């Protein structure tokens, strides 16, 4: 696997070795030993999540405060613009964001450690999104950073009519008001 840093300390772009021929392809989407060796991160994943969303759906920017989650994310059908926002007050990159295109075609993955908000915008007709988490989902710990907070300034590749948001995501808080990590 090839691991590349992003503009945010700790957020990593992971490109697995893909073996393909006229029959199709094969790759290890996760191998704990190789992940730890390549990233220096020895974590334990406890939950896998799978979502399917329609084009122009924007999910996020989500995080958990009481039970923060590290996430390893990837797309198995379609394409998304995936975003992480640094909510660690002590970090040099606090309040900054990084975004990458993840798709079934490019097979790239993004590692988002604890202390970051995360979201994605579906660019294709539909997208199926998979992610592993280092802690369980805890509704009482869940928070939402406003997806369009001008203080963060994520440059989403938005459709003309804007994104499709859940009621919960419409209520996201600005960076100044949201809970943060130390």
What tens digit of pLDDT does each residue of 160-173 get?
999 999 999 999 99
Q: What is the pLDDT of residues 7-44, one digit of tens each?
A: 999 999 999 888 888 988 888 888 889 999 999 998 99
Question: Nearest 5 degrees, angle CA 148-CA 150-CA 151?
Answer: 120
**So what's the architecture of 2-170 in CATH?**
Sandwich (2.60)
Q: Given this model, what pLDDT does residue 151 score?
A: 97
User: Catalytic site residue 62?
Assistant: yes
Q: Show Cβ contacts of residue 160 under 8 Å, excluding neighbours closer than 6 positions.
A: none
109: helix, coil or strand? strand
| 118 in active site | no
Burial of residue 41 (number of CB atoms within 10 Å: 0-12, 13-18, 19+): middle
User: Among residues 62, 63, 118, 136, which one is catalytic?
Assistant: 62
Residue 24: what pLDDT?
A: 86
Catalytic, out of 118, 131, 136, 137 = 131
Q: What is the pLDDT of residues 52-64, one digit of tens each?
A: 999 999 999 999 9
The residues that bridge with 62 in the sheet, in sequence order, are: 118, 144
Distance between CA atoms of residues 146 and 19, nearest Å: 40
State pTM to two decimals: 0.94
């Amino acid at each position: 696997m090839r691991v590349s840093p992003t503009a945010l300390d700790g957020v990593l772009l992971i490109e697995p070795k893909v073996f393909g021929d006229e029959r199709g392809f094969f790759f290890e989407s996760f191998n704990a030993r190789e992940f730890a060796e390549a990233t220096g991160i020895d974590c334990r994943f406890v939950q896998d999540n799978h979502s399917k969303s329609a084009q122009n759906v924007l999910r996020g920017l989500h995080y958990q405060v009481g039970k923060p989650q590290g996430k390893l994310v990837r797309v198995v059908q379609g394409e998304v613009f995936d975003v992480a926002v640094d909510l660690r007050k002590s970090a040099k990159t606090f309040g900054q964001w990084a975004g990458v295109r993840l798709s079934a075609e490019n097979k790239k993955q993004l590692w988002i450690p604890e202390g970051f908000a995360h979201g994605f915008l579906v660019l294709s007709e539909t997208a199926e999104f998979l992610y592993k988490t280092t802690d369980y989902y805890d509704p009482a710990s869940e928070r939402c950073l406003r997806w369009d907070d001008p203080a963060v300034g994520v440059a989403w590749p938005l459709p003309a009519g804007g994104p499709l948001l859940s009621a919960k995501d419409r209520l996201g808080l600005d960076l100044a008001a949201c809970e943060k990590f130390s």
